[in-house]
Amino acid sequence: MCSYSQVIEGRGVERGIEKGILIYQTLLATKSIQQTAVKAKEPADKVKKIVEQY
């Protein structure tokens, strides 16, 4: 399985994949970690960590 989805959402791979796609698409569209964090309902530092890691 994809470790990316586990970083995003440790509770379930499918939910992590969905949230990962949402984060990726939002980052592409907005180029903003803050806006992505709001839309994904995740802390900005977590989104930033994900972006730096991948």
pLDDT tens-digit readout, 3-54: 555 555 555 677 778 888 899 999 999 999 999 999 999 999 999 988 888 7
What b-and-e string marks burial along 17-53, b requiring 16 or more CB atoms within 10 Å of the CB?
bebbebbbebbeeeeebeebbebbebeeeebeebeee
Residue with tokens 């791979």: 13
Q: Please say whether the beta carbons of 13 and 1 come within 8 A.
A: yes
Q: What pLDDT sits at residue 1?
A: 44
Q: How many domains does the chain have?
A: 1
Residue with tokens 């839309």: 39
Q: Provide the residue range defining the domain that includes 29.
A: 3-53
